[in-house]
Structure 1
Amino acid sequence: MVVYDDYGVPVGAYSEPETLTHQAYRTARAFLIYQVNPVARKAIFGNKSRDWSWRSLFTLVKVLVVVWLATLYWGERTVFRDSIEACRWENWENWASDANPHRLIFVADPQLVDPHTYPDRPRLLNSLTVQFTDQYIRRTYSKIQQVLYPDSVIFLGDLFDGGREWSTTTTVSPEKQYRKYGDSFWLNEYDRFGRIFFDHWGDGGLLPRLGQPGKKIISSMPGNHDLGFSNGIQIGVRKRFNAYFGEGNRMDVLGNHTFVSIDSVSLSAMGEKDSQETEELWKPSMDFLSGAKEQKKKLVQRSLRVLQGLTPYPKFSHDIVPNTEFAKAVSPHSDDTITEFPTILLTHVPLYRAPGTPCGPQRERWPPTPPPKGQTTPLEKDDRNAIRVAAGYQYQNVIRQEISADIAKKIGGIGYAFSGDDHDYCEVVHKDYASAGSGIREITVKSISWAMGVRKPGVVLVSLWNPVDNHGASLLTEPGAPTIQTHQCLLPDQLAIFIRYGALFGITFLTLVLRAVLVASGKVTPAHQTDNSSPLLPTTEHGSSAKNEKADLSSHQHQSVVSHDSISSNSSMASERGKVQVRSSNARTRSVSPKAGHRLPSAHEKYSYPLVQHAGYYETPEDEDDRKGGKVWGTVSTKKLKPRKKGTALFWHEFVYSILRVAIVVFGWYFWLLKRW
């Protein structure tokens, strides 16, 4: 029997609400009971209890995701790190233990992809090519700075691919299709080059190594894709290049070696049919060569003074120079007899060699032809392995023979030469030119870009060690000992990485198709399927049938009175597991006024529920329509659940669902790796 107070409220029907702390405690307690008590777990989920075994962690989708994550990390991080790590100086340098060599890297033919590279490709494909080639070059160059930390970096030309085509204020492109590209486009390409190379020059730091004068980057050498070739060069195009990168003809002393850079693409205009008209092209390079020996001597003198802690130039003598002698007066230099530093020639186009001169075993595209049976020495003439002696529109594979001989004669004492242009590695010894020692050993450096026809791009590392006295004489204990060591550093095969991605995509696609087929045939349970026959809680629907309403109200009238204490007690929960009390439509709580007005019930009225259960509400139009239509909100729905998918529908549903689960994680990881390279 229910006892009411003076206001008609059932005695003991209310208590203070639970605090948040108590609610959190009850939630944690219920979770622990669920984890350790299989009986409670079965009461909640029924016989279809969730499987927390290790098998659930190794589903096909999860395994594919893990394989993709590992493969992408390998292709975007590990392979780049390992390639550069394998080139560490200490892995191949062979100097005395007390040596402190100058370390230099040659970079050849970046040839940044632009509209000139693949003119027939669709715009979207071209944009993707630009994106991925720039990403590759930027990533490898940055990693080189971080891991190898070179003292100097020298570029060997062809910085751009279509640099010669972009019009200037005084010139237009010789090819009609490129005339719409002007100075502004070239400046954008220059900025792009700077973002790739100049911005990442200091990724490893900018402080010089101990015993080295400082870090240096030289990018002034032009290639035929930067200016054109021979009499195809336009003066305005060359002036623009020199204004931003510097003169192509220059000398530098690095590691007590004299580097002589020559603008070979302009010099090649000498001797052409209309060479008199193009004298402005080749004459600066020829004048530079004519004074090369004297300039080398002066440069060595300045360097020796700096090594002694003096100023590069001696002080001027305060003498009166007669007018007749004024034209012959020159800047003062030391008159001491000096020994020249070893000379290294730098040119974009390789020196001339006889057709079929082999390039050696490190050439990638065309390795040496195997010698005949019984012969152990390589072939003296190997057309496949050689740089082809040929020419075409705006290019020539080697400098003409007479110009090559003139370069070697006027510079003198050349021991090594480094060139680019060919995109692949080539090493030959020129014995027919004037040189220091047994000939000029020329190394043609690979392109650093994977879009230039080589699967494995590369750079050449050069280690220079030449300790000298105050007069430039070598202090090496062995007379004639080499002062230079080289090593080809191969970079990752980007195409092979993409091929591996493609193969893994094919495997992923086929395995998920097979899985979807097995699911559709009933041999495998769908991963996302739940037990529709025994839902976790009863579902309610606004708009159940009148018949269900009557049944619900009838059962509700026969329910016993339940106090608040009995609802919250553990004994009641244990005895009524799996059963949920369903409230009728007139038992909803709303924060609005009831239809009967705001009044307390009279003392003779009987309550089977707490007063809050009778809180009324203003009826909405939708509620009224439902009521008039015989529908009651809040009753248990007896609507049939949607039938499970079968056959083709189940196949497509399972396949698309699995693909999306893999793709969302994989693409998110991939784009993160691209962004955080």
Structure 2
Amino acid sequence: MSFVPRNRRVVSALRLVWVVLALWYEYFVFRASVRSCKWPEPATVGLNAVNGVSSSHILLVADPQILDHRSYPGRLAFLTYLSQLVVDLNLRKNWRAAIAKRPDLIVFLGDMMDGGRMNMSNAEYEEYYSRFRSIFQLDKPIPLFFIPGNHDIGLQSEPVFSPHAQTRYTSHFGPLNDRLSASNHTLVFFDAPGFVQEDYEREGQGQSFMEWRPKRGGSLEFLKKLHDENNPDPPILFTHIPLYRPDGKACGPLREKGTIRPGVGFGYQNTLGKHSTGFLLNLVRPIVVFSGDDHDYCEHTHQSIISHPVREITVKSLSMAMNVRKPAFQLLSLFPAQYWDNVHPTYADVPCLLPDQLGIYLDVYIPCFLLSLFVVLCAAAVRTRRTSFGDRESIPMSSQPKHLPDPVTINDRSQTSIVCFGHRRRFPLGLGQLFGGRGPSNSSKRGLLSHILHDACDVAIFPIGIFIVVTVFVSL
């Protein structure tokens, strides 16, 4: 009776391949993808910095929109939960790659939580918010600033929106409108959903912007106060909702598909109105605008609304779940200068594209899984066949019966015979041997299915371990 050992070379080779794949695609590819994405320097825009004032590096993050059980109403509960786990892990890896750039300041451009505006108990909101903070952890203290999105505080009146959405937002993320001085610039954090909501009320009463009495603590009041301050530092506007642009305007080569078109739907508005955009730009007069909401990258220059051209960049979402194959974040550098104009801007920015997580799953993991399974299947079949032939050859000739019965008449439930390529061949396909049971002819044989499962588990345990380690690491 012979025993054929398991094919350790095949298992070890597959282990090595999967260890390399798991390490690269679960960790290193995220760092490598943004390694060439560097902070813009003053030389990029031809400026000399003001003595004694340092430049500022600002990380812009748009629409992480972490999911909850309401995000996919038509999806099974288990699939929704699995989607949350996968997307949360992707956000953690993207966030780790982003903060590795060591920014001085971080600005979130709204829609932090997909269901932040929905009706829920305080306990559920606290748990939801804790999940957000657990994903976006910092290794060292860095100032964080947020602007509200329509998924955070709501837009328009809907029964499913919580009447406490704004209060919850301000108590957890900060004021709806705010301003900050950084490197001789004024950063304007603007509540665009609140502005749109007040604009609906103004238009409903048929009043112009000059006639309208701004709501106390609202966006219009904030804009007028900002204008009256007459701050000489060049302003930079951060808004969740993009500004108006003519329908069909191209967004540049970094856009994945389509363009931004004006439109309104359930709890959202694609752009500000044309007159509202003109009013906003004339009051703030920003040197550049950064917006979110659209999830994809878009670069547009507003030329006809005010006297000087204003460049607007719509920042890509950081999440893989927002219908973009390659998420991204934006790096913004501010350079203190004695003067500024359109020829000598005092800022520079660059988008940093992240890996295509869905492409990794579909184009790397699934094909490699199928190929590995095929290799394991072939190796197990060959090993089982060799074991069968080895046992047959080990039987002494003197002990073999002189007259062998026809194979078809053998009543052996642990074996079956089929005609293959003109010869009748015997295969161990009985239930006992398929699952590794002890057959009547050889107690040490393993069935074909048992060999496959055993080898597959041996191969999988290493990449699964690496996956768990990476998940724990990015979650710390």
Normalised to the residue count of structure 1, the TM-score between the two structures is 0.56
Determine if contact 1:259/1:345 at 8 Å carries over to the other structure. yes
Q: Does 1:352 align with 2:244?
A: yes
**Equivalent residue of 1:114, what SS?**
coil
Determine if contact 2:27/2:93 at 8 Å carries over to the other structure. no
State the alpha-carbon separation in 1 of the partners of residues 87 and 130 from structure 2: 16
Report the CA distance shift for 1:643/1:479 in structure 2 as closer, same or farther (over 3 A).
closer
Deviations 1:122-170 (A, max 9, x none): 222222221222222122223322x31001110110011011112xxxx
Matching of residues 107-506 of structure 1 within 5 Å: 107-145=61-99, 147-166=100-119, 181-197=120-136, 200-201=137-138, 203=139, 205-206=140-141, 215-219=142-146, 221-232=147-158, 236-272=164-200, 275=204, 284-297=218-231, 340-364=232-256, 366=257, 385-411=258-284, 413-434=285-306, 438-468=308-338, 474=339, 480-499=343-362, 500-506=364-370
Match among 380, 388, 399 for residue 516 of structure 1? 380
> Comparing 66-75 with 237-246, which one deviates more in the overlay?
237-246
State the alpha-carbon separation in 2 of the partners of residues 523 and 285 from structure 1: 79
State the alpha-carbon separation in 1 of the partners of residues 76 and 316 from structure 2: 28
**Equivalent residue of 1:81, what SS?**
helix
**Equivalent residue of 1:118, what SS?**
coil
Determine if contact 2:59/2:331 at 8 Å carries over to the other structure. yes
Q: Which amino acid aligns with 2:325?
A: R
Aligned to 1:644: 442
Deviations 1:611-666 (A, max 9, x none): xxxxxxxxxxxxxxxxxxxxxxxxxxxxx99633799x732232222222223333
Aligned to 1:63: 13
Determine if contact 1:231/1:269 at 8 Å carries over to the other structure. no
State the alpha-carbon separation in 2 of the partners of residues 440 and 259 from structure 1: 15
Determine if contact 1:269/1:282 at 8 Å carries over to the other structure. no
Determine if contact 2:302/2:312 at 8 Å carries over to the other structure. yes
**Equivalent residue of 1:59, what SS?**
helix
**Equivalent residue of 2:25, what SS?**
helix
Determine if contact 2:330/2:352 at 8 Å carries over to the other structure. yes
State the alpha-carbon separation in 1 of the partners of residues 272 and 216 from structure 2: 13
Report the CA distance shift for 1:394/1:280 in structure 2 as closer, same or farther (over 3 A).
farther
Report the CA distance shift for 1:416/1:59 in structure 2 as closer, same or farther (over 3 A).
same
Determine if contact 2:40/2:333 at 8 Å carries over to the other structure. no
Report the CA distance shift for 1:114/1:525 in structure 2 as closer, same or farther (over 3 A).
farther
Aligned to 1:4: none
Report the CA distance shift for 1:493/1:532 in structure 2 as closer, same or farther (over 3 A).
farther
Match among 468, 471, 476 for residue 674 of structure 1? 471
Q: Which amino acid aligns with 1:665?
A: F
Give how far 1:403 is off. Answer: 1.1
Q: Which has the higher strand share?
A: 2
Determine if contact 1:433/1:440 at 8 Å carries over to the other structure. no
Deviations 1:330-375 (A, max 9, x none): xxxxxxxxxx1221111110001110111111101x1xxxxxxxxx
Determine if contact 2:263/2:271 at 8 Å carries over to the other structure. yes
Give how far 1:230 is off. Answer: 3.8
State the alpha-carbon separation in 2 of the partners of residues 447 and 479 from structure 1: 28
Q: Which amino acid aligns with 2:382?
A: L
Report the CA distance shift for 1:271/1:82 in structure 2 as closer, same or farther (over 3 A).
closer
**Equivalent residue of 1:106, what SS?**
strand
Report the CA distance shift for 1:296/1:455 in structure 2 as closer, same or farther (over 3 A).
farther
Determine if contact 1:83/1:491 at 8 Å carries over to the other structure. yes
Determine if contact 1:114/1:162 at 8 Å carries over to the other structure. yes
**Equivalent residue of 2:351, what SS?**
strand
Determine if contact 1:231/1:281 at 8 Å carries over to the other structure. no
Matching of residues 649-664 of structure 1 within 5 Å: 650-664=447-461
After superposition, the CA RMSD in angstroms is 3.4
Determine if contact 2:234/2:287 at 8 Å carries over to the other structure. yes
State the alpha-carbon separation in 2 of the partners of residues 453 and 357 from structure 1: 20
Report the CA distance shift for 1:95/1:129 in structure 2 as closer, same or farther (over 3 A).
same
Give how far 1:280 is off. Answer: 8.8
Report the CA distance shift for 1:525/1:64 in structure 2 as closer, same or farther (over 3 A).
farther
Q: Which amino acid aligns with 1:141?
A: W
Matching of residues 579-618 of structure 1 within 5 Å: none
Give how far 1:236 is off. Answer: 2.7
Give how far 1:295 is off. Answer: 2.9
State the alpha-carbon separation in 2 of the partners of residues 59 and 449 from structure 1: 40
Aligned to 2:409: none
Higher relative contact order (CA 8 A, sep 6+): 2
State the alpha-carbon separation in 2 of the partners of residues 532 and 280 from structure 1: 97
Alignment length, in residue pairs?
A: 417
Q: Which amino acid aligns with 1:249?
A: N
State the alpha-carbon separation in 1 of the partners of residues 3 and 370 from structure 2: 36
**Equivalent residue of 1:671, what SS?**
helix
Give how far 1:408 is off. Answer: 1.1
State the alpha-carbon separation in 2 of the partners of residues 457 and 524 from structure 1: 54
Give how far 1:532 is off. Answer: 9.6
Q: Which amino acid aligns with 1:223?
A: G
Give how far 1:75 is off. Answer: 1.0
Give how far 1:240 is off. Answer: 2.0
Q: Does 1:87 align with 2:37?
A: yes
State the alpha-carbon separation in 1 of the partners of residues 356 and 365 from structure 2: 13
Give how far 1:101 is off. Answer: 2.5
Normalised to the residue count of structure 2, the TM-score between the two structures is 0.79
State the alpha-carbon separation in 1 of the partners of residues 84 and 322 from structure 2: 13
State the alpha-carbon separation in 1 of the partners of residues 215 and 385 from structure 2: 77
Determine if contact 2:46/2:344 at 8 Å carries over to the other structure. no
Which entry has the higher C-alpha Rg, 1 or 2? Answer: 1
Aligned to 2:411: none
Aligned to 1:10: none
State the alpha-carbon separation in 1 of the partners of residues 4 and 263 from structure 2: 74
Determine if contact 1:427/1:443 at 8 Å carries over to the other structure. yes
Q: Percent identity?
A: 31
Determine if contact 1:350/1:420 at 8 Å carries over to the other structure. yes
